[in-house]
């Protein structure tokens, strides 16, 4: 799938934007605060119904407006078209696919897999395990059809067990939730581990090309490897009862990424961390294509930030090689050179107005 039409209304300073993106690369340039990143934000919203810049949707909606709207037309390799629409306000979210209302955001995400590389991409390594779990789960969601249901059931049961712990219910009442929790935890953990088994060799190839070195990835399940999840729940029961929440499980999982036995967030520079996360994103896109044949959309905000010319050139070539539909922003019209064989469109953004530039 790739976007052939994109309409944006009331997203930050983008009041009424309509563009027809190219299938391969879309180069968006303009001054800082002109609105170019907001174009990427609108595409991201259409995939997951939330922003990558803030958790508060009111900050994304144009000042003094009640809601934002994003509409897109997608086309697959057979020239079949799908329309997506999103309307968000502070109170509600409305999703439409092919002019029909849909309740689940996951339906959008399944049709429009979107990845982003931006100046804050290093935070995937520096921030808490939550963000690395989200990274894994993006990949698993798109290739394992049973994963989302298991994930939703797990968190529903976890919420019930935590409520029982907070209410200081007796052990027998709390343990009634354990069988379901264990069942869904097994599905989630196995799906994640299987995914990483396939993902890591692809990731290693990208790291080698981008950085000329190798790193190690180890999946931490969320409980002690020396024990089963069943035994671990028993061993931590007293502590969980005291604290009022379940302290172990897939919801506490993490990825340890290390170089020479040192976590990369403790030994890599900011630029190295950015390249490493780029390799992670590219590997996910490539794995998805290999596994399902589905193309992704890749948003790249301020590509030049913290990368020298050599690394920038390598990254551009790898971005193009994924065959994902690219949306790349920069402050200057000629910040970098795309390979001559790449079909590209150029858009200039100024004061929230987006215009295609004829090349």
Phi, psi at 255, each rounded to 5°:
-110, 120
Which of 198, 258, 186 is closest to 222 using CA atoms? 186
Distance CA 63, CA 152 (A): 35
Q: What's 252's DSSP letter?
A: G
Distance CA 150, CA 138 (A): 14
How many other CB atoms sit within 10 Å of the CB of residue 99?
A: 7
Question: What are the tokens at 165?
Answer: 């712990």
Q: Which domains does the chain have, with CATH numbers?
A: 1-113+295-359 (3.40.50.300), 120-293 (1.20.1050.90)
* pLDDT number for residue 206: 95
- Nearest-5° Cα angle at 161, 158 to 166: 120
* pLDDT number for residue 79: 85
Strands (E), 277-343: 297-300, 325-330
Buried b / exposed e along 290-312 (16+ C-beta atoms within 10 A): eeeeebbbbbbbbbebbbeeebb
What torsion, rounded to 10 degrees, do the Cα atoms 270, 276, 279, 281 define?
Answer: -70
Distance CA 246, CA 243 (A): 8
* pLDDT number for residue 332: 82
How many other CB atoms sit within 10 Å of the CB of residue 286?
A: 21
In a structure prediction context, what are the per-residue pLDDT tens digits for the chain, which is 359 residues long? Answer: 899 999 999 999 999 999 999 999 999 999 888 999 999 999 999 999 999 999 999 999 999 899 999 999 999 878 889 999 999 999 999 999 999 999 999 999 999 999 999 988 889 999 889 999 999 999 999 999 899 999 999 999 999 999 999 999 999 999 999 999 999 999 999 999 999 999 999 999 999 999 999 999 999 999 998 999 999 999 999 999 999 999 999 999 999 999 999 999 999 998 899 999 999 999 999 999 999 999 999 999 987 666 777 777 888 888 888 889 999 998 888 776 777 777 889 999 999 999 999 87
């Amino acid at each position: 799938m790739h976007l052939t039409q994109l309409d944006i209304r009331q997203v930050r300073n983008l009041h009424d934007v309509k563009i027809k993106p190219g299938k391969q690369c879309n180069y968006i340039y303009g001054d800082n605060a002109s609105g170019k990143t907001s174009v990427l934000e609108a595409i991201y919203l259409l995939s997951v119904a939330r922003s990558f810049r803030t958790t508060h949707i009111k900050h994304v909606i144009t000042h003094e407006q009640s809601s934002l709207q994003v509409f897109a037309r997608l086309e697959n390799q057979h020239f079949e078209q799908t329309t997506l629409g999103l309307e968000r306000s502070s109170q509600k979210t409305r999703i439409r696919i092919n002019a029909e209302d849909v309740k689940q955001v996951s339906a959008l995400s399944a049709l429009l897999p979107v990845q982003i590389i931006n100046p804050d991409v290093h935070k995937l390594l520096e921030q808490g395990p939550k963000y690395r779990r989200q990274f894994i789960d993006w990949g698993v969601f798109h290739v394992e059809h049973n994963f989302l249901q298991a994930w939703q059931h797990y968190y529903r049961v976890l919420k019930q067990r935590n409520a029982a712990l907070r209410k200081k219910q007796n052990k027998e009442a709390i343990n009634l939730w354990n069988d379901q929790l264990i069942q869904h935890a097994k599905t989630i953990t196995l799906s994640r581990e299987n995914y990483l088994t396939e993902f890591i060799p692809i990731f290693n190839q990208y790291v080698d090309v981008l950085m000329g070195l190798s790193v190690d990835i180890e999946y931490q399940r969320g409980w002690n490897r020396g024990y089963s999840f069943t035994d671990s729940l028993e061993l931590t029961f007293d502590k969980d009862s005291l604290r009022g929440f379940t302290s172990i499980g897939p919801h506490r999982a993490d990825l340890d990424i290390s170089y020479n036995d040192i976590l990369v967030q403790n030994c890599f520079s900011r630029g190295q961390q950015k390249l490493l996360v780029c390799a992670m994103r590219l590997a996910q896109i490539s794995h998805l294509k290999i596994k399902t044949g589905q193309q992704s959309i890749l948003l790249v905000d301020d590509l030049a930030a913290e990368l020298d010319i050599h690394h920038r050139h390598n990254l551009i070539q790898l971005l193009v090689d994924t065959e994902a539909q690219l949306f790349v922003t920069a402050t200057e019209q000629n910040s970098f050179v795309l390979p001559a064989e790449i079909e590209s469109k150029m858009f200039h953004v100024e004061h929230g107005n987006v215009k295609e530039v004829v090349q």
